[in-house]
């Protein structure tokens, strides 16, 4: 949903000028401090801890007053918490400081502060290295600096030491300013540090600004702190042809600037502690596995959520919603979920229905109709609760004392319904109240999920406000995001006006601008200054608990604001984007980043949120968006209609691209399972599968689904072809399996891509499970299966693998062993003229009960120098009078081979007419190579 900060930066500048004219003080320090802020610390004591860590005491070398006084003594705690995870925790040695709450993001507690360490005992450690299974921590004492190295090859992953030639200084630790840096090799490729729209692609770009502070600033603004805060980066290096990846997380929820200079990276943080976690990798997949093992495995998603979703802000009444569903059906375009923005609400108030435009009896009849065929319904929910004494939700909130406070009273803000207060989700009472409100609303309207928006938190006003006397607020005319409360700026505390100004909104705006005042307080006196970026995360945790408690079903939550660990509870979309070709390109990088952040269920508003996309752009966008993990068309109130059936050409592209998505649903759902058990992203950069192939390290215009399904879309206006990178090996077109692209070294290939065509290729050594598709996932899920088996083109010796996870998809847990799930491994081999495809089934009961079967197997890339013969199924020969047929089709290379070899005849074998049960082990074999 658009809001005042969902505007270009140039517009924001005008907004700031207007607010300044109204008396809002935007004064902030413009003086440039010295590059090197402090003189560092010295290590004066160090000892072993009973749990296998080390504990040290640091003392400041020379104090200064830049950004406030230095904290005199720091406690250092280092521990190898797991084989592949190292923690380095630095805090004030004498006073407890703010950290991300341990009950919100569960993890080990560091030792309690020991004020006597170093004062009455000598160091018990003489070595300067602390070694673990994968990583080594080393340190220097004066000035203190530390390094983290990879044990296997001695590679330095992080080095905080500073010398005179470095553009950064030593460790700085003040109450409201923390600074630390690391040296980096020139050839390190970095990814992460979100959320922002990165114009240069997925790789971090030297000297671009990276500010982390959750903010309602539209995704159309580049290099700006957006809705989420993810202070983690992945570092990929190629050492003598061998790839090594690792990740670094700074678990800190305070606002920060991160300066990446290419050969160094510097954190400048305005509070909290240094709590670093190093994940050893060494592959990109293992890095994400280790990261999500720590922050939380991604939430299991219901099967229907992988279908296509349609939303719009501006479905003014129920009849419009009914027409949209009917028009998708008429256009033969798949649709699983219909959404409401705030149009269904009464006066834009949470948990209400508009009695005129969405009368409950008619809405319930509509929902009965769509639910009966397997469709779902989701509505929006903003955190701001309208201040209205006749509004039951507000009455119960006041009675339960659930709101964030300012000077002892609920903090007053303005969002869509007018004056609002914000629930404090760090308060256990709020979590209970929120769950009760969701339960009440579900009894009113049987929703299938919740969309939590505006939770950065977004506020249309700034400062301390009161409801104006003698005028209506909002007025009901003009844009709803104009502040109509009577407000005055808040600058009286150091929390509202900190000494160091992060580059908030890309313009160094005050950190309380258009959000909750940072001197406001949460439960137990927690400052908004510290907890600001946790708001959307804490709301997702509470919402997940509430939805799971409704009917025991698997929750679906879409959240705009996210933090470290949000993927355990919610999906994400990339926010208010623009209907432009540039925004289409940026969407790929953002989606891939969130896979690294442990939020694999992610997508971008297809065709753009605003303004109107062109017909050509919408064609190309659905060809990309059909392969986002979360696939939804969403548009702004002020934009023309852009449902996929509005243009016949777009409808054609949608039928093609979404038609393929719905055939791939069993594969996508299996990827959803893999994400849940190992963190593996659904959509991945190519370097995840090809980490040795440096050519793909910066590639941001193509992506993989899983390990071997590559999407190469058109991202430029007026183009009917696309230049795509193909890593080494054999690739097969999924839309035309007779086409092969093969290369030993990898290369770019120009592919035909007319308006309604998207190029999708499947890599060698893969077994891809598919079904026949349909207009809704429920019906598509019951169609027969097919398997696509790929070998390196022309090989006489090869292996292929794939898998399939099936379960009762609305159960809360996604796991084996509960009696409601089945897992199948598929294998294929070709060796000495003998071809075989077989399965190994775990927990067969569920699949057998559903009656699923495989009706076709397509095997690609076979040497066609001879015919196929002697087909057997489970050891029984298939006779000529059987319904099972084996067809052979020659495959063609799209371009000449680059290795100078003579072309072989390559064939695809299709075995049709099968009735092989998915729930039973099977083996199908035949012979290749008898001369024709």
User: Which residues are annotated as catalytic?
Assistant: 453, 456, 576
Region of 348 (left: φ > 0; alpha: ψ -120 to 50; beta: rest) is: left
Please state, as a whole number, how many other Cβ atoms lie within 10 Å of the Cβ of residue 606.
32
Tokens of 130: 């602390």
Query: Minimal CA–CA distance to 40: which of 138, 168, 169, 139?
Result: 169
Query: Minimal CA–CA distance to 280: which of 136, 138, 108, 135?
Result: 135
Give φ, ψ of 155 to 5 degrees.
-65, 130
Q: What is the DSSP string of 371-399?
A: HHTT-EEEEEE-SPEE--TT-HHHHHHHH
Whether the CB-CB separation of 328 and 645 falls below 8 Å is answered with yes
Query: Minimal CA–CA distance to 162: which of 60, 264, 77?
Result: 264
Q: What is the DSSP string of 143-155?
A: TEEEEEEETTT--
Tokens of 577: 């984007």
* Inter-CA distances, 68 with 37, 64, 177, 255, 516, Å: 11, 8, 8, 17, 24
Residues 6 or more apart whose CB falls under 8 angstroms from that of 688 comprise: 284, 285, 681, 704, 707
Residue 702 exposure: Cα atoms within 13 Å on the Cβ side? 27
Dihedral angle over CA of 580, 585, 586, 589, nearest 10: 160
Residue with tokens 């202070």: 231
Q: Report the SS3 class of residue 163.
A: coil
Residues 6 or more apart whose CB falls under 8 angstroms from that of 214 comprise: 225, 226, 227, 228, 229, 456, 532, 533, 535, 536, 561, 563
Residues 6 or more apart whose CB falls under 8 angstroms from that of 700 comprise: 201, 202, 203, 585, 588, 589, 592, 685
One-letter-per-residue 3-state SS of 829-898: EEECCEEEEEEEEECCHHHHHHCCEEEEEEEEEEECCEEEEEEEECCEECCCCCCCEEEEEEEEECCCCC
Residues 6 or more apart whose CB falls under 8 angstroms from that of 579 comprise: 607, 608, 609, 610, 611, 612, 613, 614, 617, 618, 639, 642
Whether the CB-CB separation of 348 and 670 falls below 8 Å is answered with no
d(CA 536, CA 227): 9
d(CA 756, CA 749): 19
Residues 6 or more apart whose CB falls under 8 angstroms from that of 25 comprise: 489, 491
d(CA 290, CA 112): 26
Please state, as a whole number, how many other Cβ atoms lie within 10 Å of the Cβ of residue 540.
30
């Amino acid at each position: 949903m658009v809001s005042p900060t969902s505007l270009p930066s140039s517009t924001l500048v005008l907004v700031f000028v207007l607010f300044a004219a109204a008396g809002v003080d935007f004064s902030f320090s413009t003086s440039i401090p010295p590059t090197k802020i402090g003189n560092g610390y010295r290590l004066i004591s160090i000892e072993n801890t009973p749990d296998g860590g080390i504990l040290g005491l640091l003392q400041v070398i020379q104090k200064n007053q830049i950004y406030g006084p230095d904290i005199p003594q720091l406690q250092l705690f280092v521990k190898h918490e797991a084989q592949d995870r190292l923690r380095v925790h630095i805090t004030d040695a004498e006073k407890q400081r703010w950290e991300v709450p341990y009950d919100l993001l569960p993890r080990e507690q560091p030792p309690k502060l020991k004020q006597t360490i170093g004062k009455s005992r000598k160091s018990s450690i003489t070595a300067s290295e602390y070694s673990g299974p994968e990583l080594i921590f080393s340190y220097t004492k004066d000035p203190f600096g530390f390094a983290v190295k990879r044990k296997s090859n001695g590679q330095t992953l992080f080095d905080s030491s500073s010398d005179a030639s470095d553009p950064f200084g030593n460790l700085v630790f003040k109450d409201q300013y923390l600074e630390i840096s690391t040296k980096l090799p020139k050839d390190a490729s970095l990814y992460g540090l979100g959320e922002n729209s990165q114009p240069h692609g997925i790789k971090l770009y030297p000297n671009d600004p990276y500010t982390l502070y959750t903010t309602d600033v539209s995704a159309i603004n580049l290099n700006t702190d957006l809705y989420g805060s993810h202070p983690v980066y992945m570092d990929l290096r190629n050492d003598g042809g061998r790839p090594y990846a690792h990740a670094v997380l700074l678990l800190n929820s305070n606002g920060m600037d991160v300066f990446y200079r290419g050969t160094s990276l510097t954190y400048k943080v305005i509070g909290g502690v240094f709590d670093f976690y190093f994940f050893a990798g060494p592959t990109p997949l293992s890095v994400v596995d280790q990261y999500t093992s720590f922050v939380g495995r991604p939430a299991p998603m219901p099967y229907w959520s992988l279908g296509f979703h349609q939303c719009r802000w501006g479905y003014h009444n129920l009849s419009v919603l009914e027409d949209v569903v009917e028009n998708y059906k008429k256009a033969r375009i798949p649709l699983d979920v219909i959404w409401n923005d705030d149009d269904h609400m009464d006066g834009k108030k949470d948990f209400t229905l508009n009695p005129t435009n969405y009368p409950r009896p008619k809405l319930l009849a509509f929902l009965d109709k769509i639910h009966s065929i397997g469709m779902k319904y989701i509505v929006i929910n903003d955190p701001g609760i309208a201040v209205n004494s006749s509004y039951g939700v507000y009455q119960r909130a006041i009675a339960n004392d659930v709101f964030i406070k300012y000077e002892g009273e609920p903090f007053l803000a303005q969002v869509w319904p007018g004056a609002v207060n914000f629930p404090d989700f760090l308060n256990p009472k709020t979590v209970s109240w929120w769950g009760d409100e969701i339960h009440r609303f579900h009894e009113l309207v049987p929703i299938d999920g919740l969309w939590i928006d505006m939770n950065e938190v977004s506020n249309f006003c700034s400062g301390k406000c009161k409801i104006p006397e003698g005028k209506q607020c909002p007025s009901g005319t003009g844009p709803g995001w104009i502040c109509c409360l009577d407000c005055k700026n808040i600058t009286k505390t150091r929390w509202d006006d900190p000494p160091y100004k992060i580059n908030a909104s890309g313009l160094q705006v005050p950190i309380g601008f258009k959000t909750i005042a940072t001197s406001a307080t949460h439960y137990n006196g927690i400052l908004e200054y510290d907890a600001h970026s946790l708001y959307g995360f804490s709301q997702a945790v509470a919402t997940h608990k509430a939805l799971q408690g409704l009917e025991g079903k698997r929750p679906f939550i879409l959240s705009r604001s996210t933090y470290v660990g949000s993927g355990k509870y919610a999906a994400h979309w990339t926010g208010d984007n623009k209907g432009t070709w540039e925004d289409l390109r940026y969407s790929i990088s953002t989606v891939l980043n969130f896979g690294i952040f442990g939020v694999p269920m992610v997508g971008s508003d297809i065709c753009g949120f605003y303004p109107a996309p062109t017909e050509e752009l919408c064609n190309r966008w659905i060809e990309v968006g059909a392969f986002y993990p979360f696939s939804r068309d969403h548009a702004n109130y002020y934009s023309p209609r852009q449902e996929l059936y509005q243009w016949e050409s777009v409808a054609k592209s949608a039928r093609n691209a979404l038609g393929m998505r719905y055939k791939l649903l069993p594969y996508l759902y299996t990827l959803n399972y893999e994400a849940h058990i190992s963190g593996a992203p659904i959509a991945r950069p190519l370097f995840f599968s090809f980490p040795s192939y440096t050519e793909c390290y910066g590639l941001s215009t193509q992506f993989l689904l899983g390990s071997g399904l590559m999407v190469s879309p058109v991202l430029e206006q007026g183009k009917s072809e696309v230049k795509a990178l193909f890593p080494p090996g054999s690739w097969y077109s999924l839309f035309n399996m007779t086409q092969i692209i093969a290369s030993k070294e990898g290369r770019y290939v120009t592919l035909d891509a007319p308006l309604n065509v998207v190029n999708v290729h499947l890599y060698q050594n893969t077994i891809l499970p598919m079904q026949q598709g349909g207009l809704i996932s429920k019906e598509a899920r019951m169609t027969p299966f097919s398997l696509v088996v790929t070998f390196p083109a022309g090989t006489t010796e090869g292996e292929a693998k794939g898998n399939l996870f099936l379960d009762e998809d609305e159960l809360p847990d996604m796991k084996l062993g509960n009696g409601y799930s089945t897992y199948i491994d598929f294998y294929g081999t070709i060796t000495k003229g003998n071809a075989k495809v077989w399965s190994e089934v775990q927990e067969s009961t569920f699949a057998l009960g559903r009656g699923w079967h495989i009706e076709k197997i397509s095997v690609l890339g076979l040497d066609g120098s001879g015919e196929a013969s002697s087909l057997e199924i489970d050891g029984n020969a298939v006779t000529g009078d059987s319904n099972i047929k084996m067809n052979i089709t020659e495959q063609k290379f799209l371009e000449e081979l680059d290795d100078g070899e003579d072309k072989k005849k390559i064939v695809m074998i299709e075995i049709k007419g099968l009735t092989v049960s998915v729930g039973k082990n099977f083996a199908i074999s035949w012979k290749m190579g008898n001369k024709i």
